[in-house]
Structures are given as C-alpha cells and as structure tokens.
Structure 1
Amino acid sequence: MTSTALVAYGSTYGSTAELARTVGDGLRKTGLLVEVRSADVVRDLTPYSAVVLGGALYSGRWQRDARRFARRHRRALVRLPLWLFSSGPLDSSAAERDIPPPPSVRRLAHRLHARGHVTFGGSLDERADGWVARKIVASGKGGDFRDFEVVAAWAESVARELLSLTSRID
C-alpha cells in the first residue's frame, strides 16, 4: 500500500499529541505510511487514504482544533476510513473499562461514519497553563493516566483493519 494515513489531533498541553505520535508509530509498525499532524495545520485531506482523529476532552467536549478539523473536513471524512480517539480521564477508569465517547463525540462519530472510537487516559501536570488546569492539579487530581502499550495495540488493530480494507479494494 503506497497511500498515506493521517493521524490528526487536537491537543492543548501536549498530552494528546504524544498519544497521536504513539498511534502513528503503531500504524507504521505494520508498514503503513503515516503523517502525524496537529489538526489546526491540516488544510487538505486529498493526499490521505485514511484518517485517525484524536482530541483531548475538556468538560465532555473535544479540544477546539479537533472539533474544527471535523467540521472543516466533514465531506472528505465521510468518504475515508476514519477512526477516533479521545484522551481525558484523569484517573484509571480508561484502563479499567471501555469508556464510551461523550455525546458530542458520539454524534460526530455517527455523522462521519467513524469505524471506531476509543478513550485513553489523559495527563495533566503542573506545567499546564490556565486557571482551571492549575486548580485541577492543585487539588491532587492531575497525573499521567496514559497507557502507551494500550494505545499502540489499538493503533495496530486499526492498521490491520485498514490493510484488510485496502486488500479487498486491490
């Protein structure tokens, strides 16, 4: 397969960007060509044969750049194989059970015909800017709850599905 998959992400503090890079590495491991880019810099989906879009969750909503990406590219996204991921829970819940997407992300997944969605644990530490982020960390609810092995395994499952789709087309 010579086409390229895009992993786009909306990240405010960098945690979701790190998850996106791990997703990209997992896709590459199976031989796919992959670009990992911040959602706010992607202008055209023409070069891509598939998209993985991720967003950090804040108060049950995706980070602004991920939402804008989905809106801006909705016509192209419905025609491409698409998977979604969210990062957010600042506890171990994502490692303990499957967490469904919040209603806004669920509606987006439905409208865009996403093939799947997963929620990964989030991360927030004292370097985070913003009053709310500082209050969360100061209250002891910050920390790093990401499991990069789980992220990589999910990415590899996405890659296998994508490779299966393309082998049926070829």
Structure 2
Amino acid sequence: MPRNVLITFGTKNGSTAEIADFIASVLRDEGVEADVLPPWGVADVAPYDAVVLGGALYMGRWHRDARRFARQHCRALRQRPVWLFSSGPLDPSASERDIPPVRSARRAERRTGARDHVTFGGRLEAGATGRMAKAILDEGRGGDFRDFDRIAAWAAGVARELKAPVEV
C-alpha cells in the first residue's frame, strides 16, 4: 500500500487548492498519508508513492502550473499511480454528467499514464483576479459549483485503489 501521496495543483483564485486540501483530508480519513504542495514546492516526486494532480480550467485550458508539472515530472510520474482532476465549470454540469478532460489535461493524462481524470465544478466569487474572471462575474455567472460529496466519493475511490493488494 502506498504510504505517502502527493497532491499538487495549479490554481488562480484558490478554488482548486481548496479541492486539493479536501482530497487530502479524505485520503487521511481513509488511512492514507497525504501532503498538499503547490507545484513549485515540489522538487522531486521520488519521496511519494502516488500523486494526485489537479488543474483549474481557464478558457478551455488546464492551468499552466499543472501542465508544467506533468511535463517536467512525466518520467517519474509514469513510475507510480497518478490521478488527475480538473476544476472549473461554473454551472452544475460537472455534477450532472462526466465531463471529459480538456486537450491539455488529456495530454497530461497520456504523459503521466494517469489512472483516472475527473472534472469537478469550480468556484468564482467576488474578489477573483483576472480580466476574464471579472467579466464572468460582471455577467452574473459566478458562484460555487463544487460538489464536495462527489469529490469525497472520488477521493475515497482513490484511497481504495491505493489500499488494494497489488496483483502479481
């Protein structure tokens, strides 16, 4: 059973970081050790038995920090279990149906040999930075669309996979 899981993320306004922290809490509740670090705080993935990598979605692209992390660490990531998540739809669609990964997340999925990718709803609230974020808020399309029950169920599934006996 993997003993130490890295959860890292690319975020702009903090919503994806909050999802990463929540995933870590679920893994810990399931008996799996988890560290949450931003990508620039990870020099090497060697100390970790598994990795969860998340990226916020902006204008149809996965956050650049998540893309860069997957690219820079792809060889090491292919040597351990990896799960990916995206956050971003500013409507309930991510809770109503499976949303396939955007092209840049699909590329990271291939590079890392990820076991799974899931898209969660996002959050965009007053005070968000960036021209697009402000425009979306001005149109009244902000809000919190994260489904923490769905996130918890996904994270618990990751924990079950990590704790499952390895078949030889």
> What CA distance in whole angstroms lies between the structure 2 residues aligned with 1:42 and 1:22?
19
> What CA distance in whole angstroms lies between the structure 2 residues aligned with 1:39 and 1:148?
23
Structure 2 equivalent of residue 91 of structure 1? 91
8 Å contact kept, 1:25–1:152:
no
> What CA distance in whole angstroms lies between the structure 2 residues aligned with 1:65 and 1:103?
15
Q: How does 1:46-57 map to 2 (within 5 A)?
A: 46-57=46-57
Q: How does 1:62-141 map to 2 (within 5 A)?
A: 62-141=62-141
Shift of 1:2: 6.7
SS at match of 1:34: strand
SS at match of 2:161: helix
8 Å contact kept, 2:67–2:104:
no
Q: Number of paired residues? A: 168
Higher mean Cα deviation, 23-32 or 78-87? 23-32
> What CA distance in whole angstroms lies between the structure 1 residues aligned with 2:167 and 2:7?
22
TM-score (structure 1 length as normaliser): 0.94
Shift of 1:111: 2.5
Q: Please, which runs of 5 or more residues in structure 1 have no aligned partner? A: none
> What CA distance in whole angstroms lies between the structure 1 residues aligned with 2:30 and 2:44?
25
Is 1:168 the counterpart of 2:166? The answer is: yes
Letter in 1 for 2:117: H
8 Å contact kept, 2:71–2:108:
no
Letter in 1 for 2:14: G
8 Å contact kept, 2:2–2:163:
no
- 1:115-162 Cα deviation digits (max 9, x unpaired): 000000001011101221111101011111001111111000001011
> What CA distance in whole angstroms lies between the structure 2 residues aligned with 1:130 and 1:57?
13
Q: Please, which runs of 5 or more residues in structure 2 have no aligned partner? A: none
